[in-house]
Structure 1
Amino acid sequence: FHMNSVVRQLHEQGTDVVMVDTGNSYEGLCEYLGGKYISYSEEKPITMNPFKITKEEINIEKINFLKNLILQIWKGSDGVVTKTEDRLIGQTIEEYYRSYFTGKIDAPLSFNSFFDFAVARIPEIIKENELKGIDTADLNYQLRDFYRGGSHETTLNENMDSTLFDETFIVFEIDAIKDDATLFPIVTLIIMDVFLQKMRLKKNRKVLVIEEAWKAIATPLMAEYIKYLYKTARKFWASVGVVTQEIQDIIGSEIVKEAIINNSDVVMLLDQSKFRERFDNIKAILGLTDVDCKKIFTINRLDNKDGRSFFREVFIRRGSTSSVYGVEESHECYMTYTTERAEKDALKLYKAELGCSHQEAIERYCKDWDNSGIGAPLEFARRVQKAGHVLNLPTINDTK
């Protein structure tokens, strides 16, 4: 709910928003803003052709991205890469582009043509340099899954929708593959690269928000790439944020600490009362002061509710400045953010019966909700569902 509020405000301030989600948390907001909601499925997988670049676009950053991509497929999230293997893949990618732009490869740039080149060239490099201990059979076997005829052949060989660069609010929903150890980190990487391209091309402010999917790439193999992503974003008036519901995810990983926490100037924390007895570790890793901690433990604890609608509080630190804020939204915002199935279904009933836009349905729904005098959103939603139609309630005064 809080992150819906954050990205809505960023979007209203002219920021391009790209989100990676694993739970339909932003479907309502995306529809309300007229954004692009891309949900991964076997029938419509998220695809791109990261190898298709111009000669001018070849630089050390792009080579490193493609190298990380290949190593991720080859070694997996928990794999160990030797310096020789790292250099071998990097050299192969460089030679692939050199061969293409000098006319030695006539096939289009894609993972397919790279695979064809690599299968032939890697054994030659190994022989020329008398390299030992490189399992080319395993490399070919792992990569072939993304090659022509493989189960993921479209993932790295088909162009992504070019209109995405003009979209100002994009949500990639990849819940369908969150348990796929091979595909999940690869698709997350693909989306991050889409953001990097948007980041370089567009002049306004940009933000990439990665929900729980960031865990898939918080590995030793990807640590340097995550650092690069954060540092590069700063150069292009962009920012990167990771979101988790479990504080242990953040404090339990050296990779996260080095690659994410140390490069994040803004920290947002919700209620931490259940961690109070063991907060010292969190305090040290996040660099919180004693004053910060005192503020954090006032979250949702103060007698400050009189004269206000329902709200929850959040601690936000920006640089060295920190405060606790109330997240207090209108009924219209609540119905835009909600993930409660009963509430979403009640809103769909309004939209279908009235034959109107998503925004108009929310406005009409909330007008009836306000007029009903019912405070609890779930209670009103159940009343709508029980009635089975738009309530069209008079004002509370008329009712009385």
Structure 2
Amino acid sequence: MLAVGGQLASTLVVTGYPAEVTPGWLSPLLNFPGHLDIALHIDPVPNPVAAASLKKQRARLESGRRSGFAQGQLDDPDVEAAAQDAADLAFRIARGEGKLFQVALYLTVHAADEEALAEQVAAVRAVAESLLMNVAPTTYRALPGWLATLPLGIDTLKIRRTFDTAALAACFPFTSPELPLPQGPEGSPTGVLYGLNAISGSPVLWDRYAQDNYNSITLARSGAGKSYLMKQELLRLAFTGVTASVIDPENEYVRLAETVGGRVVALGAQGVRLNPFDLPPPPHSGEAGDLLTRRVLFLHTFLSVLLSSPLSAAEKAMLDRAILATYEHAGITADPRTWTRTPPRLGDLYAALELEAGDTAIELAARLAPYVSGSHAGHFNGPSTVETSGHLVVFALRDLPEEVKAPAMLLALDAVWRQVTERARTGRHLVVVDEAWLLMREGAGAEFLFRMAKAARKKWAGLAVVTQDADDVLASPLGRAIVSNAATQILLRQAPQAVEAIGEQFHLSHGEQEFLLSATRGEALLLAGDRRHKVALISVASAAEHEVITTDPGELAAQLRENEAAYAEAAE
């Protein structure tokens, strides 16, 4: 304790730090309500000195480990962790990815008398310990401790720890756990509310349309709240004028569409069908090339997914001839004037294959038979019977058998892409593919999603991929390419079996992986922009929003009982 003028001062030295920190982790100390001076002394370590020191440290740790092993001792987890950290740090320094610094952190508490000083010191120690820091008083060195916290830049105590660049950046007093506020061209805030910051409790606003691309990827285990978060964003984006199309395998978005006056296309219901041979409207003069050629190429992709196997070269050649013959029989040729004629059907392709000679045509016709005259004939064989335009269009696929959900998703995505192309000049659009693993497991379906992810930005549209199976996304090159083309990445609760692969792909720290393992429903990690911005958030919804977007069976049953009771009371 030191008497300074009419006050007393006591200095604390930080001797231990937490294993992992996040930006703004010192905020509780910086915002301490009492009179507290904080001094951070930083001294850079030259790279040659740092490399030599780390080499000695690694040798010392390895020697101790081998000595213990030779004596029959078990491995010390702390030593193993320290050796791994030292090795990682040495490699980062060798690659020029960071530097080492000698850092000292001192805290000087001021109070009017001894009793108040003791209370203030105890409060500061409690805050520091809540941050997993160890602090010690400068016993018998009160004057050097006070001098170390004066704005003189003199470290009179020299009680230091070694930090790397990333750890030191997180200690910077002006860093914050908040995301940068998205702003429009005139400086006004944009974006929608995603939730509350899990650290500071402040609102998390994010604008996907202010990023390099408008795509997003949402990964979570079943029941973590990924569809809930997506529906919440859709509802809030609607108030900003964004239109949307949703591929919904489980009918989770139907109530939302019905509430906001959207359109529900229930594929699989009686008489509801999309014709894969439909041609899009003719392009404006001088805009696009041959619509028929592009449609034939899409049909190759669609039939590959429908038949559940990649097509061989001979099968592709045979299908190409048969598809062109089918269009020609319907009077549709390369002449743009014929593109408005009634398109053929899947049954016409089957008939064209039967007219072809050879085993390849016979086999393809046999594989198409269930979708033409068999059990699945009503899903794809016939003219389109529904309109697919609107400010919110939900393609509900729950009534479809599992065997045809993937080709139906692809057909719905094709219809969505037509709407995206037509709306490109009129406003922003969002395409949501829920349970995308159904399509990602098919090679041709993954390629279609990848092409859409690459081209959506040029049409003022974003692709939002939502899936619970991380392996289908991260285990394939196309899946990883889709992730890398998503400027907005949202991770919710993960299974222990998948968290290691996700941590490697998204460059997550051990603490961030632990957060995903222990996250409750609605808690998420938002990786924004170029991954320099990360924030842990808690999804929040108003009572009115929750009533519209929840799919919890218990809550839906309670709502149904309340509605029935209200109707009965009104009838009386």
**Normalising by the residue count of structure 2, what TM-score does the alignment of the two structures yield?**
0.50
Compared with structure 1, are the counterparts of its residues 117 and 312 closer, same or farther at alpha carbon in structure 2 (3 Å cutoff)? closer
Rounded Cα–Cα distance in structure 2 between residues aligned with 1:389 and 1:346:
17
2:526 to 316, 323, 336: 316
1:282 to 502, 506, 519: 502
Aligned to 1:251: 474
1:19 to 234, 246, 249: 246
Q: Is the 8 A contact 1:18 1:208 kept in 2?
A: yes
Aligned to 1:335: 547
Rounded Cα–Cα distance in structure 2 between residues aligned with 1:101 and 1:338:
47
**Normalising by the residue count of structure 1, what TM-score does the alignment of the two structures yield?**
0.69
Q: Is the 8 A contact 1:199 1:206 kept in 2?
A: yes
Deviations 1:132-179 (A, max 9, x none): xx62212112223333687414524222423x31x1112222123252
SS in 1 for 2:406: helix
Aligned to 1:226: 449
Q: Number of matched residues?
A: 329
Aligned to 1:375: none
- Answering whether residue 429 of structure 2 is matched by residue 206 of structure 1, we say yes
Q: Which amino acid aligns with 1:119?
A: L
Aligned to 1:111: 345
- Residue identity over aligned pairs, in percent, reads 17
SS in 2 for 1:323: strand
Rounded Cα–Cα distance in structure 1 between residues aligned with 2:412 and 2:361:
28
1:144 to 369, 392, 395: 369
Rounded Cα–Cα distance in structure 1 between residues aligned with 2:282 and 2:230:
39
Q: Is the 8 A contact 2:251 2:396 kept in 1?
A: yes
- Answering whether residue 320 of structure 2 is matched by residue 90 of structure 1, we say yes
Deviations 1:56-82 (A, max 9, x none): 561553322111122333xx32x1322
SS in 2 for 1:335: helix
Deviations 1:101-134 (A, max 9, x none): 35999x94222574166326643xx7xxxxxxx6
Compared with structure 1, are the counterparts of its residues 98 and 231 closer, same or farther at alpha carbon in structure 2 (3 Å cutoff)? farther
Compared with structure 1, are the counterparts of its residues 16 and 48 closer, same or farther at alpha carbon in structure 2 (3 Å cutoff)? farther
Aligned to 1:381: none
For structure 2, the 5+ residue unaligned runs are: 1-227, 284-289
Q: Is the 8 A contact 2:447 2:478 kept in 1?
A: no
Deviations 1:301-343 (A, max 9, x none): 79xxxxxxx9842111232132222211111111112222342
Rounded Cα–Cα distance in structure 2 between residues aligned with 1:282 and 1:149:
42
Q: Is the 8 A contact 1:47 1:160 kept in 2?
A: yes
Rounded Cα–Cα distance in structure 1 between residues aligned with 2:281 and 2:263:
27
Q: Which amino acid aligns with 1:188?
A: M
Q: How far apart are residue 40 of structure 1 and its match?
A: 3.8
Q: Which amino acid aligns with 1:222?
A: G
1:6 to 204, 217, 233: 233
- Answering whether residue 299 of structure 2 is matched by residue 66 of structure 1, we say yes
Compared with structure 1, are the counterparts of its residues 91 and 14 closer, same or farther at alpha carbon in structure 2 (3 Å cutoff)? farther
Q: Is the 8 A contact 1:81 1:221 kept in 2?
A: no
SS in 1 for 2:444: coil
Q: How far apart are residue 195 of structure 1 and its match?
A: 0.4
Q: CA RMSD in A?
A: 3.6
Aligned to 1:261: 483
SS in 2 for 1:18: strand
Q: Is the 8 A contact 1:265 1:318 kept in 2?
A: yes
Deviations 1:6-26 (A, max 9, x none): 221222222221112233322
Q: Which amino acid aligns with 2:295?
A: K
Deviations 1:272-324 (A, max 9, x none): 4x53x87442223x33254xx6456446979xxxxxxx984211123213222
Q: How far apart are residue 193 of structure 1 and its match?
A: 0.8
| Greater C-alpha Rg | 2
Q: Is the 8 A contact 2:267 2:397 kept in 1?
A: yes
Compared with structure 1, are the counterparts of its residues 336 and 111 closer, same or farther at alpha carbon in structure 2 (3 Å cutoff)? same
Q: Which amino acid aligns with 2:407?
A: I
Q: Which amino acid aligns with 2:263?
A: K
Q: Which moved more, 1:55-64 or 1:185-194?
A: 55-64
Rounded Cα–Cα distance in structure 1 between residues aligned with 2:508 and 2:515:
15
Rounded Cα–Cα distance in structure 2 between residues aligned with 1:347 and 1:184:
30
Rounded Cα–Cα distance in structure 2 between residues aligned with 1:113 and 1:46:
14
Aligned to 2:135: none
Higher relative contact order (CA 8 A, sep 6+): 1
Rounded Cα–Cα distance in structure 2 between residues aligned with 1:42 and 1:242:
25
Compared with structure 1, are the counterparts of its residues 229 and 118 closer, same or farther at alpha carbon in structure 2 (3 Å cutoff)? farther
